[in-house]
Amino acid sequence: MKRVYSGFMKALSEGKFVFTGEIEPKKTTKLDGIIWAANVLKSHVVACNVTDNPRARAYLSSLVASYVIQKEAGLETICHMTVRDRNRLALISDLLGASALGIRNVLVISGDHTTGGDNPGAMPVYDLDSTQFVQMVRGMVDNGIDLNGNPIDGEVRLHVGVVGNPNADPLEVEICKVERKINAGAEFIQTQIVFDVERAKRFLKDLNSSIPVLVGIFPCKSHRIAEFIANKIPGISVPKDYIEGLRRAEYPGNVSESRNKIDMVNVEYFSNFIKELKKTTKAAGIHIMTMGYESIVGKIADGLLDGTR
C-alpha cells in the first residue's frame, strides 16, 4: 500500500467527494494577490492547483507560489509542472525542491505551444513527455532514484496527477493516452473544463479509471466569457441555455444586482451538473477553475460537499 503524504490524497483515499480550486500566478513579483485568493478558497476546497506558465505565458513560478500559499494561507497546493519549459534536469531539481519545501502534490502538464504565448520566440523543450515524467516521479518517490538511476539523498514525498480531456475527439485516443499515464503510476486525474454533463459521464464510463478522477468545471463571470469559450476553444461545447441565462442575468448599470444574478445562474447550473455526476458516476470530486471569480467556489461547493460520494 502506497504511503499518503497529503491531505488531498488522504481525502480521496477515504472515498470523500472533494473539491479543488485553482490559482493562476501572474507576471508579477507581488504575492498579495495569490495569498488573498488562497484565503478566499481555503474554507471550501481541500487543495488548490497552482498553474505553471498557463497558455505559454511567462508568469511567477508555480513552485514559489505554491510554497507561499501553503506557508501564508495554510491551503494545501497541487503544483503544476510543465514539460514544455524544462528538460529532465530542471524537472528533477524542481521535484526535489517541491518535496523539500513541503509541497506534496504535483500535476503533470504538457503545456500549450510557445508560439501562442507572450514570448513566441521561446524554444519549447519537451525533453520528456507527460507519461515519462510520471514514470520519473514514481522512480524518485518509490525507489529513491532519478530517471538515470542516480540515488537521491532523503525521501521524495510527492503524489503525482495527470490531466484528461472529456472533450477530445476522438475520445478513444484520449482514453488511451490517459490509461498510459495511469499505467505509468499516476495517482489522480483532473480533467479539462467540461460544461456538458453527458460528455463528462461518457469520459468517466469509457475510462473506468482505477484512480480518482476530478471533473473540471469553469463557472463564467459573464456571457461574453462563455461565448469566447464556445467559439474560440476547440472541442468545448457550452450549452446555449447556460449562455442565455448569463446574458439575462446581466443588468447594465447595476453591478451588484448583476453579480448576484450571475452567481445564481452558476450555482444552479453547476449544482445540477455535480449532483448528476454524484448520482450516476464514480467521479471522486470536482475541480473548479476560475479567473478572478474565487467567490463562486464556496457558493457551489458548500451546498454540495457532504463528505461522502
| CATH code, domain carrying 138 | 3.20.20.220
Inside any domain, residue 171: yes
Query: How many other β-carbons are positioned within 10 Å of the β-carbon of residue 267?
Result: 16
- Could you tell me the residue range of the domain that residue 293 belongs to? 7-222+281-301
Per the omega criterion (within 30 degrees of 0), is the bond before 166 cis? no
Q: Which pLDDT belongs to residue 171?
A: 95
Q: Which pLDDT belongs to residue 305?
A: 55
Q: Which pLDDT belongs to residue 74?
A: 98
Inside any domain, residue 50: yes
Q: Which pLDDT belongs to residue 251?
A: 80
Inside any domain, residue 39: yes
**How large is the angle between the packed helices 240-249 and 223-232, nearest 10 degrees?**
150
Q: Which pLDDT belongs to residue 2?
A: 76
Inside any domain, residue 292: yes
- Count up the domains in the chain and report the number: 1
* DSSP-derived pairing of the beta strands 18-23 and 47-50: parallel
Inside any domain, residue 196: yes
The pLDDT profile of the chain, 309 residues, written as one tens digit per residue, is 579 999 999 999 999 999 999 999 999 999 999 999 999 999 999 999 999 999 999 999 999 999 999 999 999 999 999 999 999 999 999 999 999 999 999 999 999 999 999 999 999 999 999 999 999 999 999 999 999 999 999 999 999 999 999 999 999 999 999 999 999 999 999 999 999 999 999 999 999 889 999 999 999 999 999 999 998 887 788 999 999 999 999 887 777 888 999 999 999 999 999 999 999 999 999 999 988 899 999 999 887 754 443
Inside any domain, residue 247: no
Inside any domain, residue 80: yes
Q: Which three cell numbers stand for residue 30?
A: 507581488
**How large is the angle between the packed helices 130-138 and 171-184, nearest 10 degrees?**
20
Inside any domain, residue 238: no
